[in-house]
Structure 1
């Protein structure tokens, strides 16, 4: 059952009960209906049950649906099995990395644009290397004169 289906069923009075069930390191929402068919709240584009790592997040969803009372079943909940790959710290580090990458991309685009718009003549690699060799030679000669 999707969020929209839960909302519609709840507004029509078709929900008889909701249970927040612990499964491994997370929680799922089980919905009992008047038709006798129990269902789980599913992910948006899937039939797979939507898992909540934090029961408070699940409670917010249930409350937003207009459901005021629920049952909690922690029989099969084991907090040690929580998937830490989606933790706040992991997500925060990924976001910091994404921001750094975006800043680098913006700087690179700016540098490339400035280079393209630069009115100075374009030099070949050979010309640049010849100039560098000349400058290195001048610095070496100046260093030898000081000694």
Structure 2
């Protein structure tokens, strides 16, 4: 069976070379099978590989076909199993990207709230040098306190 990319299918359809199209279900996905006027059968593939182009929803495949001027076709849902929607690298990657985007948005929202709360704080501001000097004094005091403590005995 031959393969056609989206651009090749578009060119074939524009030239009148498509005899029929069947939207075939396999598992949880839908694939486009093309029969050309030359008598060859082909499957719609991804642009950068020979892997069949899979549609999660049949309406997306039909919209794509209609955009190309292919308005009549057939269905084969004999092997359709809506429960078998497989996680492909494409939708798995999109899901991960969306989770990361939402996490970043939550963090940004939290950070904006913290900064605004600091700006709105009615207490007087403290100069950076004063804060650093105070922290240095606390660290020196803590270090002195821990060095005066007797060392713990090691366990045998």
State TM-score, norm by structure 1: 0.66
- Residue 16 (str. 1) matches residue 19 (str. 2): yes
- Of 85, 99, 103, 2:102 maps to 99
Partner of 1:80: 83
In 1, the alpha carbon distance for the partners of 2:47 and 2:75 equals 23
Q: Which runs of 5+ in 1 are unaligned?
A: 112-118, 134-147
Match of residue 129 from structure 1: 138
**Aligned to 1:50, what secondary structure does the other structure show?**
coil
Residue 132 of structure 1 deviates from its aligned partner by 8.5
The 3 A distance-change label for structure 1 pair 129 and 43 is farther
Structure-2 residue corresponding to 1:143? none
* Off by >6 Å, runs of 4+ in structure 1: none
Normalized against structure 2, the TM-score is what?
0.62
Unaligned runs of 5+ in 2: 116-126, 143-156
Q: More helix by proportion, 1 or 2?
A: 1
> Counterpart of 1:40?
43
Pairs aligned (count): 123
Separation of aligned partners in 1, 2:15 and 2:136: 79
